[in-house]
Structure 1
Amino acid sequence: MTLTRLVLFSGWGIDARIWQPLITCLQARLAHITETDEQADKQAADEARSRPLEIIAPDWPEEGPQAESQAGSEPTTSRASLGGADTLWLGWSLGALRAEALAKKQAPAALVSLAMGPSFIDQAPFEQTLPALAPEVLEDFRAAFARNPAASWQHFLRWQASGEASARDCLRQLRELIGRHPVSREAVLAAGLAELASRQMSLAPQSELPLEFWLGKQDPLLAPGLSAALRAQGQVVVEFEGGHCLPLSATEALADALLARMGLATHVTHISEEA
């Protein structure tokens, strides 16, 4: 089934501007529709033109995104559902954990967890068989954030970029996109850290939500061995060359993977370097 709507959820301390390079890349690829003489392919191309891909990148509500599982709050783009049988959700980092919880209400066709496992840290004392970071990693960061939020946010940007082939270039691009100061209030950022400490995806074998994990091979925010452990449990895992900032470091590979996952890859030609 061809999916025609893509919803992108950003992560902790970073708003929807992180998706600008990916959206530009997707739009460029979709502008180059393959034309062939075969009638079946021509019909597919015509359908792709008549139903262009809709891309939505909502920001989470300022009043505290962690409340969505308790009070029913939703992303601020629209009070209408972002789900539906034609929709793929891509949640990056904390956005993946939030999206998985929201999907129980809004029912997208599928969810891709980008640069995030079923939980950020080990959820002891709950039974957990998948690798995650030690709780102390987040506890130390939360303590530092309480002392100096601005400096801690900057440190988090450097931490995210540290797994990329060119960490300096990635950090520069990240700052050019989102600026040098977070757009969210300190209380909202603190609440997001609390989410990272407590939120965990449900991996029920009979779940109606198709869930995939797209992970960077050098991601410093993922526990070693996570990809292999997920595969051993029968989860779908796609790995990219890159770290945590895959929307920036693996933009083209991510765009191609999304188009393939949505059933649109056959309509897209390779774009020359001059395009």
Structure 2
Amino acid sequence: MTATPEKRLVLLSGWGCDARLWQALDKHWPDNLEIMSPDWPGYGERTALDDPASLDALAEAMSDDLPSDAVWVGWSLGGLLAGALLDRLPPPRTLVLLGMGERFPHPEGVSEAALAQFRKAFRRDPVATHAHFMRWQLGGEPSPRNAHRRLRSLLGDEANADTATLAAGLAQLAEIDNTQRLCTPPCPVHRLAGEADPLLAPAAREQADYRLPEAGHCPLISQPARLTRALAAIAKAPERSLAEVALESMP
């Protein structure tokens, strides 16, 4: 069956992970969806921006990959960037923030000081710091070791992104604040979070419209079937409440 445009999902990866990450969901999607998973500039085979920190340049580069007749699903940094692009591109049918709030640093989550230390460590040793992050973000999954093996099977051991793009992404995590944009968003916004996400403050997890049970920051890895059911339900009827979506996502 050919998907109709109103059942199109665009999946956007987070810091340090290219679009291969979304292959974890491949066998779980229903047949009536069109799934797009473009890489951000500087990831995979995609050319990096001359100025990786420029949101205007990012919007121009991604304009063909972010159609307005789709649901945009941004995971982690991908959600933060997608929210920032609402000012620069025609808005989607719906924006889904997965594992991300209006901004990233939080005193009860990853503090500004902790993020500054991480950025300092990245400048000193990008390879080791990226490898550390791949393990750290999995701390809330039911089996972090198994999740890490699965992540490595998808992405390998090296960051498939250039260092300047990764450094700019860390700066964006520290600096982008979508609070005002999302107070009066130009489209519906749904917030999904793993109930044990170690990168989100408890208050941010509680504010999510739907919390994925038995999942941390990477429900793509730990709860692919439940996550795809939730996203498929949103794509089918993005105006519905997440309470209804939650019911459809139960095993």
TM above 0.5, one fold?
yes
1:225 is paired with a residue of what secondary structure? helix
Which residue, 121, 126, 143 being the options, matches 1:144? 121
| Residue 237 (structure 2) pairs with residue 259 (structure 1) | no
1:190 is paired with a residue of what secondary structure? helix
Alpha-carbon separation, structure 1, partners of 2:112 and 2:192: 23
Aligned equivalent of 2:24: 21
Aligned 8 A contact 2:138 2:216 in 1: yes
Aligned equivalent of 1:190: 167
Aligned equivalent of 1:92: 75
Aligned equivalent of 2:190: 212
- Residue 153 of structure 2 aligns with an amino acid whose one-letter code is E
**1:70 Cα deviation from its structure 2 partner:** 5.5
TM-score by length of 1: 0.75
- Residue 224 of structure 2 aligns with an amino acid whose one-letter code is T
Aligned 8 A contact 1:2 1:262 in 2: no
Aligned equivalent of 1:74: 61
Q: Percent identity between the aligned chains?
A: 39
- Residue 79 of structure 2 aligns with an amino acid whose one-letter code is A
Q: Which entry has the higher C-alpha Rg, 1 or 2?
A: 1
Q: Any gaps of 5 or more consecutive residues in structure 2?
A: 43-47, 238-247
Alpha-carbon separation, structure 1, partners of 2:84 and 2:184: 16
TM-score by length of 2: 0.82
| Residue 100 (structure 2) pairs with residue 116 (structure 1) | yes
Aligned 8 A contact 1:119 1:132 in 2: no
Aligned 8 A contact 2:194 2:205 in 1: no
Q: How many residues align?
A: 225
Moved over 4 A (4+): none
**What's the Cα RMSD here?**
2.3
Alpha-carbon separation, structure 1, partners of 2:216 and 2:230: 17
Deviations 1:30-73 (A, max 9, x none): 2xxxxxxxxxxxxxxxxxxxxx4211101111224532335643
Aligned 8 A contact 2:109 2:198 in 1: no
2:230 is paired with a residue of what secondary structure? helix
Which residue, 61, 84, 91 being the options, matches 1:107? 91
Q: Within 5 Å, which residues of 2 pair with 1:159-170? A: 159-170=136-147
Aligned 8 A contact 1:217 1:240 in 2: yes
Alpha-carbon separation, structure 2, partners of 1:199 and 1:258: 25
Aligned 8 A contact 1:119 1:201 in 2: yes
